[in-house]
Amino acid sequence: HDLLAIQSYNALEDSYSLYPHSLQSLDDMCASIVRSHRETSQYRVEELQVLRWKLYSREEIQVYQSKSVDEMWQHCASRLTDAVQYVVEFAKQIPGFRTLSQNDQIALLKTGSMEVVLVRMSRFFNAENNSVFFDGKFAGVEVFKSLACGDLITAVFDFAHGMCALKLSEQQIALFSALVLINADRPCLEDRGRVQRAQRSLEFGLRHILHRDNQESLMHKLNQRMAVLRSLCSLHMEKLQWFSQHYPLTAHILFPPLYKELFA
């Protein structure tokens, strides 16, 4: 599997951080997840903040809009795959993830990596003008016109808008992302019990930081967001099926192997 290449196991450290017994180890677990998030998030929020003025011009938008459907799909699939690769790096650093079997790691990434990409998208999103940082500048929905899946794009942008409204801190985003990945309800898990234990300690961690931030009411809102994420991902799969039927060669030959491994 491409997905899990280069892995160094540290079972001892994992079994320690899987069960936070004290406030100190809970703090340590949160700190390590926040560090992994920071190290794999491509851009810091402050960097993105200063790039906000960089918008695509009319002419540049034209260039994207005049691409063919399969050309634009191929382009977006490879951008998405880059983003997924960072999420895989993040996952591998989550306490408890590496102690799962390879099968369970792959099962969790198959269903969760796209969801985490969408959670991360809120950091790359400017809610003031509904644009996302894509290929070096901020792009509105019109840039994605030639994908011919306007409903998916609108739904994804709406989701990002809603996430921005929650005004999450980087720590909250990090813990929430980990929880989106480590989810015992995913299909095809061999050792559901182990995933559940990891999930519980992450939930504990998220509650802990929300309590510390005096924002316990966010827990409920974040749970609601999880349901929306699932529907977005099934819409993405639906669109991909539609695309593969109409452009089997592009989907088969030109899509990145990791994209196919995860979604096809």
**Footprint of ligand MHQ on this chain (CB under 6 A)?**
42, 73, 76-77, 79-80, 83, 86, 117, 120-121, 124, 132-134, 144, 147, 149, 153, 156, 239
Instruction: State the minimum distance, in angstroms, from the CB of residue 128 to ligand MHQ.
Output: 16
Instruction: State the minimum distance, in angstroms, from the CB of residue 28 to ligand MHQ.
Output: 26
Q: Which is nearer to ligand MHQ, 66 or 102 (CB)?
A: 66
Q: Which is nearer to ligand MHQ, 79 or 208 (CB)?
A: 79
Instruction: State the minimum distance, in angstroms, from the CB of residue 120 to ligand MHQ.
Output: 4
What distances in angstroms separate CA 43 from CA 38, 86, 133, 136, one per listed residue?
8, 11, 10, 11
d(CA 181, CA 125): 21
Q: Which is nearer to ligand MHQ, 157 or 210 (CB)?
A: 157
Instruction: State the minimum distance, in angstroms, from the CB of residue 203 to ligand MHQ.
Output: 24
Would the CA dihedral through 191, 90, 37, 180 be positive or negative?
negative
Instruction: State the minimum distance, in angstroms, from the CB of residue 171 to ligand MHQ.
Output: 17
Q: Which is nearer to ligand MHQ, 119 or 179 (CB)?
A: 119
Structural contact between residues 109 and 91, judged by C-beta atoms closer than 8 angstroms: yes
Judged by DSSP in three states, 126 sits in strand
Structural contact between residues 119 and 162, judged by C-beta atoms closer than 8 angstroms: no
Q: Which is nearer to ligand MHQ, 133 or 176 (CB)?
A: 133
Task: Give ∠ CA 148-154-156 in degrees, rounded to 5.
Answer: 105
Structural contact between residues 40 and 143, judged by C-beta atoms closer than 8 angstroms: no
Buried b (16+ CB within 10 A) or exposed e, 23-45: eeebebbbebbbebbeebbeeee
In the numeric block, which tokens belong to residue 121? 């998208």
> Nearest-CA neighbor of 37 among 98, 109, 100, 116?
116
Q: Which is nearer to ligand MHQ, 73 or 97 (CB)?
A: 73
Instruction: State the minimum distance, in angstroms, from the CB of residue 183 to ligand MHQ.
Output: 20
